[in-house]
Chains A and B, each alone.
Chain A
Amino acid sequence: MRKLKNRRGTELISIWELFVLLIIGGGIVIGVWLFYTANVDVIDGEVSLLYEKLALCLNENGYLNENYLNGSFDIMKECELNPKVIVKEGDFYFETYLTDIDANELSFGKFKGGNEGHGKDCVVITDSEVNAKNFAKCYTGREIVRYKIKDEMLEGYIVIKTASNQRGGKIPVV
């Protein structure tokens, strides 16, 4: 076995010892580097916050937002969502629709916004129960609401689906 020796010829440290040290050191450096450069995943929180934001604006103390069934309802403006982020950036998606009390979807009162690809991802994930790493994360919930159609007060659900695939990113040196 080769050994590093001093002038008298006695052993200082063996090549194998150096090799073991390098392996341990390399392992620690790679492990630490991977740990601290890893992406912190906050998407679950984000989809819940988007759901909450939509739910708070569409469900007003148990009643559906009074403008929701008007033909001119602007969900982005009404729910204070930034269209530049939701639509242009393409990291978010949401969908809202009304159902009757038996959870049958109504033919009116449906709104969508953002990247529809994420909506399709959500369908795939829900249907196949696949856990895809780079797919958007989704959240679906419903709120019981009362709404008026032709002067008749009805009860049903406002279903809200939200998705996000925002990973964040480094910005270049100025």
Chain B
Amino acid sequence: MKKRKYRKLLNEKKGDGSDTLYPTIIRTIVYIVFFGLISFFVYKSAMGALVYEQAYAKDIGLLLDKARLGTTITYDVSKGIGIAKENEVLASNIVHVNSDEGYVDVRLSSHGGYRYYFFTNYDVESRIDETTKKLTLIINEK
């Protein structure tokens, strides 16, 4: 009788232990997955094309507004090239400067791009060097 009682008690204890451990593990996994997904979303948003397209277009637009005739501007676009490669956009198609209409287009994905106007009336030559990952803007007379 004593042996039976002891075994019964042992089995119950074993059952109780796994019952408290199992939900804790599941809960921990759910939390890790949840916060992992949130972190991934935040990272993707911060490194997304939307942010860099706008930042580059406005930066380049203001640089061209400030520039004087004969200036050569070198601008780092390494992060933009990385994002464009992920989205299968050629580096040569990232920045397009239209001197006649006076705007700069930046495209880092196939989902459109961002346009910003500059008011200076110069002929702007732009090219991207893929080895140095730099954009060169040469300001010439129209």
Chain A CB within 8 A of B102 CB: yes
* A28–B66 CA distance with the chains assembled, in angstroms: 38
Q: Which of A39, A82, A174 has the most CB of B within 10 A?
A: A82
> Which of A83-91, A121-129, A149-157 is found at the contact surface with chain B?
A83-91
Which of chain A's residues has its CB closest to B120's CB? A80
A168 to B105, CA, bound (A): 10
Tell me, rounded to whole Å, the shortest Cβ–Cβ distance linking A24 to chain B. Answer: 8
Contact A168/B120 with A33-B45, A85-B102 known, Cβ cut-off 8 Å:
no
CB atoms of B34 and A171 under 8 A apart: no
Query: In the complex the two chains form, is A85's CB within 8 Å of B38's CB?
Result: no
Flag if A171 contacts B113 (CB, 8 Å).
yes
| A36 interface residue per 8 A CB criterion | yes
A-B contact count (CB 8 A): 111
Q: How far is the CA of A25 from the CA of B38 in the complex (A)?
A: 7
A166 and B117 in contact (CB under 8 A), knowing A10-B23, A49-B62?
yes
B115 at the interface (CB under 8 A from A): yes
Residue of B nearest to A113 (CB): B119
List B contacts of A66 (CB < 8 A): none
Cα A9 to Cα B15 with chains together (Å): 12
The answer on a CB contact under 8 Å between B23 and A13 is: yes
Measured CA separation A57–B69 after assembly (Å): 13
Task: Output the residue of B46, B50, B100, B102 with the most chain A CB within 10 A.
Answer: B102
Please measure, in the bound complex, the distance between the C-alpha atom of A28 and the C-alpha atom of B119, giving whole angstroms: 39
Nearest CB to that of B117 among chain A residues? A85
A33 vs B121: C-alpha distance when bound (angstroms) = 36
Is B54 touching A40 in the complex (CB atoms < 8 A)? yes
B27 within 8 A of A: yes
Is the CB–CB distance between A168 and B54 below 8 Å?
yes
Query: Bound state CA distance, A170 and B113, in angstroms?
Result: 6
Bound Cα distance from A89 to B58, whole angstroms:
16
Q: Are B111 and A46 in contact (CB under 8 A)?
A: no
Partner of A11, one of B23, B66, B118: B23
11 A-B pairs within 8 Å (CB atoms) are namely: A13-B30, A29-B38, A29-B41, A52-B66, A81-B119, A168-B61, A170-B112, A171-B105, A171-B113, A172-B112, A174-B112
Other A-B pairs beyond A21-B31, A45-B62, A89-B102, 4, CB < 8 Å: A13-B26, A17-B27, A39-B54, A81-B119
